[in-house]
Amino acid sequence: MPSVSSSAASHPAAAPRGVDVHPLSPALGAEIRGVDLTRPIDEATFSVIADAWREHLVILFRDQVLSEEDQVRFAQRFGALQGRPRPASMRAETAVKHPEIMLVSNIRENGKPIGSLPDGEMQFHSDMCYIEQPAKGTFLYAIEIPSVGGDTHFLNMYAAYDALPAEIKAKIDGRQAVNVFQYGSTSREGNNPDFDEHPHYTHPMVRTHPDSRRKALFVNRLMTWSIEGMEDAESAALLDALFDHIEQPKFIYEHKWRVGDLLLWDNRCTLHARTDFSDKERRLLRRCVIQGDKPY
């Protein structure tokens, strides 16, 4: 039978009673149980969440019943909410109180989507990597979920970087790539960004996470368009090879949503993608994002 001291030693974060962390996959992700996000979160509980987030990169809370206010209050513990880069005239959301809240939904009223990113599959990406200070964390809360598909896959970009051959690391360390978002696009194929119109920003292909100090790859299939200072053909071939390397199952956790899930992910060291789902079923999630720093 374990003594009190040995069981304490296996839980060094001194988690408050009933709060515990359960890894979700070998690649990344952990569920935290025993926290009701509608209630004030004390410092001890918050530090368990923050430590688990740094270690596991994606955090899941299940069975939450969250108002918009609850979600915003929790997110603000991690930093300032990020405003929406999309011009107000291009936003679909009318039924939200905070201008920073985005609905991710295929529901349509009078033929118009009530939210953003409405339909089907989406390739791997990092949120807002096309602006100067991309999102640090994204908080996505499930309100309506289809019976099949619409899963979100998360990818560990520390592990993807660490597993690169040394000669590829040498080729990309210190290099920059242009990231661009063609609004509404969910796959690279067929994209042809117009740099006068679509938001874009050049960032390092390998970034250092400001908290962990670890290196992570910072390129993705949906939004990283080309490598600076490289011929088009060479840039396209290297990016393709990187995307294929990155998108290996061993780096991925596949999340199947349940109503009441709140997921928090770190855009500085993970990517995410969405699987296809039927347009006959409704999908509604509520999202907010906290602002990050300029990658280095």
Residue 187 has which token pair? 């796959």
Report 275-294 residues binding ligand OGA (CB under 6 A). Answer: 285, 287
Question: Is residue 127 near Mn ion by the rule CB under 5 A?
Answer: yes
Beta carbons of 103 and 96 less than 8 angstroms apart: yes
Question: Is residue 274 near ligand OGA by the rule CB under 6 A?
Answer: yes
Sign of CA dihedral 205, 274, 292, 20: negative
Q: Is 203 a catalytic residue?
A: no
Phi, psi of 250 (to 5 degrees): -65, -15
Question: Is residue 138 near ligand OGA by the rule CB under 6 A?
Answer: yes
Residue nearest to Mn ion (CB): 127
Show the DSSP H helices in the chain as ranges. Answer: 4-9, 43-56, 68-76, 157-162, 166-172, 232-246
Pick between residue 20 and residue 276 the one whose CB is nearest to ligand OGA: 276
Residue of 188, 200, 268, 272 with catalytic role: 272
| Least Cβ distance, residue 282 to ligand OGA (angstroms) | 13
Phi, psi of 124 (to 5 degrees): -60, 140
Phi, psi of 288 (to 5 degrees): -140, 165
Residue 85 has which token pair? 């880069």
Beta carbons of 293 and 155 less than 8 angstroms apart: no
Pick from 122, 145, 222, 223 the residue near ligand OGA by CB under 6 A. 122
Site string for Mn ion, 84-123 (x = CB under 5 A): ----------------------------------------
| Least Cβ distance, residue 127 to ligand OGA (angstroms) | 5
Pick from 27, 117, 142, 242 the residue near ligand OGA by CB under 6 A. 117
Question: Is residue 266 near Mn ion by the rule CB under 5 A?
Answer: no
Residue of 56, 84, 125, 203 with catalytic role: 125
Q: Which residue has the tokens 């880069």?
A: 85
DSSP state of 81: B
Residue 115 has which token pair? 């939210």
Q: Which residues contribute to the site for Mn ion (CB under 5 A)?
A: 127
Q: Which residues contribute to the site for ligand OGA (CB under 6 A)?
A: 104, 117, 122, 127, 138, 140, 152, 272, 274, 285, 287
